[in-house]
Amino acid sequence: MPALIEIERLTKRFGAFTAVDDVSFSVARGEVVGFLGPNGAGKSTTMKMLAGFVTPSAGTARLCGEDVLERPVAAKRHLGFLPEGAPTYPEMTVAGFLGFVARVRGFGGAALRERVAHAMRLTTLEGVRLQPIETLSKGFKRRVGLAQALLHDPPVLVLDEPTDGLDPNQKREVRALIAAMAPEKAIVISTHLLEEVEAVCTRAIIIARGRVVADETPAQLAARGPDLDTVFRDLTLPAAVAADPGAAPGTVTEPA
């Protein structure tokens, strides 16, 4: 079975600056990939290219076999995407907003109501369904963004910092939700939280300065050093990356 997400030599340059440099990986059904890296490493840009929002300078990506550059609309049908910061229309109510997303995705009538209700149930938004989104707390807003991404039960989920701004209980709920969906889907989440990778991810990809510096299971990653924090620091600190990759302890540029 082909991987649901295939990223092929994806590169994005902004002028002289290379934000994403020749990134390739694929994600199969049942995998939850944690996309890690310091701020500005190219996580969001990679995800935006995957979602068809940013046009790559080179390379391409496929979602369920559909090329995001050649058949963008078909590719996006398979995708649930939570953009960075979970943007939503502030003046709309939760139900109104999810209804809009469902309509754009081609649902109508009873199917639409069922989808919206299901998405709100998954993210426990029923209590605020008629509230304007701008009146909600940060955690609720994030969950509205999540509900929007899950609404059509997509085979591919790309979530940019899904737990950012949530309290510990909400974080646990979202992780449980991701874990529950994992067997059916290919999921990529970006995060700063190393504990999140250990909690939900089956695989961790670390990116620094636009390049993939590690691609292995969280356990393998942790086994490289005393703890994940140290491993992460060694892999992503500018000094370690700038130097010859072979010279930095524990740095591997190719997946094992």
Pick the closer one to another protein by CB: 87 or 183: 87
Per CB under 8 A, the list member of 30, 40, 106, 238 interacting with another protein is 106
Q: Which of 37, 38, 83, 155 binds another protein (CB under 8 A)?
A: 83
Give the span between the Cα atoms of 235 and 225, in whole angstroms: 11
Determine, following the binding rule CB under 8 A, whether residue 148 of this chain makes contact with another protein: yes
Residue 106 φ/ψ region, left for φ over 0, alpha for ψ in the -120 to 50 degree band, beta for the rest: left
Min dist CB 97 to another protein, Å, is: 9
Q: How far is the CB of 46 from another protein (least distance, A)?
A: 13
34 bridge partner residues: 189, 204
* Percent of residues in the chain assigned helix, strand, coil, to nearest 5: 40, 25, 35
CB-based burial of residue 191 (10 Å sphere; 0-12 exposed, 13-18 middle, 19+ buried)? Answer: buried
Interaction pattern, residues 120-139, with another protein; x per rule: CB under 8 A: ------------x-------
How many angstroms separate the CA atoms of 209 and 16, rounded? 14
Nearer to another protein, 92 or 179 (CB): 92
CB of 185 to another protein, least distance (A): 17
By CB under 8 A, is residue 51 in contact with another protein? yes
Nearest of 39, 51, 236 to residue 159 by alpha carbon: 51
Give 88 or 163: the residue with its C-beta nearer to another protein: 88
Q: How many CB atoms lie within 10 A of CB 217?
A: 14
Q: Which residues pair with 60 in a beta bridge?
A: 8
- Residue in 8, 13, 72, 193 binding another protein, rule: CB under 8 A: 72
Binding site for another protein (CB under 8 A): 48, 51-55, 72-74, 76-77, 79, 81, 83-85, 87-92, 96, 100-101, 103-106, 108, 132, 148
